[in-house]
Chain A
Amino acid sequence: MKKCSITLRVTLWYTLFMVLLAGVSLGFLFHAAAQSARQGKLALMQNMAADSRREIEYKNGELDIDNDLEAFQDGVYLSVYDAAGVPLYGLVPRTFDNAAVFSDGELRRVESGGRSWYLYDEAIAVEDYGTLWVRSVTAADAVDSTLTQLLHWAFLVLPVFVLLSAVGGYLVTRRAFAPVRRITQTAREIGAGNDLSRRIGLEEGRDEIHTLAGEFDAMFGRLEQAFEHEKQFTDDASHELRTPTAVILSQSEYALEQTNPQGETRAALETIHRQAAGMAALLSQLLMLARADKGRQPLHWERVDLSEMAQMVAETQAEQAADRQIAVRTEIQPGVTVQGDETLLMRLLINLTENALHYGRPGGWVRLTLSRQQDQAVGTVEDNGIGIAPQDLDKIWQRFWQADPARSGGGAGLGLAMVRWIIDAHGGSITVDSRPGEGTVFTFRIPCEHHCDL
C-alpha cells in the first residue's frame, strides 16, 4: 500500500466503501421489500378467509357457500374443506400437492412440485354446522420475482456506477494533485541539474498546495541568492587580492634583479616571490572558475591537433617526473584533432598528468593515451599510484578538495575542478576509475567536430 500513489489509495479506499455501502443498503432494501410483500400477501389471505366466513352459512341442513366467494384473487387460491379435510369448494394451484396438515392462523412456507408456496389456513366456525377449514395458497416465487428482478437490475447497474465513480474520482484526485507533481518535477530538475533559477510558478491560489508551492519557490529563490552571493564573493575577493599580489610579485622580482641581494636576504626574497607567484596562480584560477560559473569565460575556438599537444605535454611533464623517478609513457594515435580552445585543452592535459604525478608512487609510471573513436577523441591518463577511495570518487571534482590534507603540496585542489569545467565547455565527458593502492585512470571524451557557440 505504501508503494501506491495517494491518488490511487484514495480512489481504492472510497471505491471499497461505495461497494460496501451499496451492498448493505441494497440488502436492507431487499429484505424490507420482501418483508412488506409477504405482509401484503398475508393480509390478502386473511381478508379472503374473513370473506369466506361471511359467505358461508348453514341453512336448512345444508352448507350454503355463496357463489360470490372468490376462489382466485391476485394470485391467491382459496379452498374450503370440512373438518375431515374433504374439499368442498374452491381451487388450489395445479402443481400444489395440498398434502399439508391444517394449522390455524399461521403463515407457512412449503415446498411442493418443485416450487415454494405460502400457505395460510384458518379454521372458521359455521353456526349449527361446526368447523370448516379455509386454506389460501400462493406461489412464494411470485412474491419474490419482482424483487429478484430488482436485484438483477441492481447487479447490472451497481458495478457500472462504482466503476464510473472510481474513474471519475481518480481523475479528480489526480487533477487535484497535479500541482504536487509539478513541485516534485521542479525540485527533481533543480536537484539533477544546476539551474537554480527554475521555479514551480503555480498560478495564484489560496489552498494548501499553492501555499506550499509558493514557499518552495521562495526557498529556491533564497538558495539561488545564496549561491549567487558565494560566487560573487569569490569573484570580488579574488579581484581585490589580485592587485596586491601582482605588486608583491613584481616588487620582489625587481628587488632580486636590480639589487642583486646575497645570502639570507636573497633566500627571503625568493621565498616571497615563489609564494606570491603561487598565490597569483591560485587567484587567477579562482577568477576563471568564477567567470566560468557565470558563463562569462571566453573560449578561443580553433582546430587543435590533440595528438601533438599530448606528446608535447607528456615530454614536458616527463622532465619534471624524472626527479621523482616516475616514467611517463605515451600511446598516442597521430592526427587526432578537435575544435577547441588550445590553451584550455593544454591546461586539461597538464592538470590530468600533474594530478597523476602528484598521486603517483616514486619508481612508478604515468601513462597518457589518445585515440579517435568514431567522432570522439578519447584520452586516458593512468597512474599506478595510491588511488582514490570509492567514497571519495565523486568529491575529487570539488574545488579545494584533497584526499589527504597532509599531502597538500602545491596543487591547491583546483586542478580537477578546472578539468571538469574545460571538459564541459567542450561538450565532452570525463569518468574516473580507481582502485586504492593500485592506481587511477581518468578517461575523457571530446567530440572531434564540436563547434563554438557556447
Chain B
Amino acid sequence: MARTAARGGQVIPLSAKEFAVLEYLARNAGTVLSREKISHGVWNYDYEGGSNVVDVYIRYLRKKLDDGRTPKLIHTVRGVGYVLREEV
C-alpha cells in the first residue's frame, strides 16, 4: 500500500512507518510528545521502535517535509520531545 503526504501541492511518498509517525504527530498536533509516547503510539510498546528509532524517523520526515520549505512543521522541544505545529 502506497502512503503519501502532500505539502504545498507536492505529493511526497512515505514508507509505512514514516507515515505512521507523521500520522501520530498530526493527530496530536500542537501537543508536545515525548519520544516514548511516539514510540508507544506507533509501535505499541514493541521494541522495534524505541526512542532513538523515533529520532531517526523524525529526521527522515524533516528531510522530506521541511527541508527547503517554510514554515517548519516538526519542532524539537529540548529535553522533552517533538511537536507538529505551524508557527512562525
B-binding residues in A (CB < 8 A): 242, 246, 249, 253, 277, 280-281, 284-285, 287-288, 300, 302, 309, 312-313, 315-317, 341-344, 346-347, 350, 354, 418
Contacts and interface: CB of A to CB of B under 8 A. Distances in A.
Nearest 9 pairs of A and B residues by beta carbon? A284-B47, A285-B47, A288-B47, A343-B48, A316-B55, A312-B59, A277-B36, A316-B56, A350-B52
B43 interface: yes
A448 B48 CA distance: 21
Contacts of B51: 277, 281
Interface in B2-40: 15-17, 34, 36-37, 40
Contacts of A341: 48
B20 to A, nearest CB: 10
Given A277-B36, A342-B17, A246 B45 contact: yes
A300 B53 contact: no
A239 to B, nearest CB: 11
Given A343-B17, A347-B50, A350-B52, A312 B45 contact: no
A344 B43 CA distance: 12
Given A281-B50, A342-B15, A342-B17, A350 B45 contact: no
Contacts of A302: 15-16
B87 interface: no
B67 interface: no
A317 B50 CA distance: 14
A253 B53 contact: no
A300 B16 contact: yes
A346 B47 contact: no
B60 A343 contact: no
Contacts of A249: 36
B79 to A, nearest CB: 10
A346 B46 contact: no
Contact of A350 (B15, B43, B53, B63): B53
Contact of A342 (B16, B47, B55, B59): B16
Contacts of A285: 47
Contacts of A346: 53, 56-57
A341 B48 CA distance: 10
A82 B67 CA distance: 145
A346 B15 CA distance: 13
A102 B36 CA distance: 128
Interface string B38-79: 001001011111111101110110010000000000000000
A366 B43 CA distance: 29
Nearest to B39: A281
A288 B60 contact: no
Contacts of B53: 343, 346-347, 350
Interface centre among B36, B48, B52, B59 (most CB of A within 10 A): B48
Contacts of B40: 246
A354 B52 contact: yes
Contacts of A354: 52
Contacts of A300: 16
Given A284-B46, A287-B46, A315-B59, 13 more contacts: A277-B51, A281-B50, A300-B16, A316-B56, A341-B48, A342-B16, A343-B49, A344-B48, A346-B53, A346-B56, A347-B47, A347-B53, A418-B47
Given A342-B15, A342-B17, A316 B45 contact: no
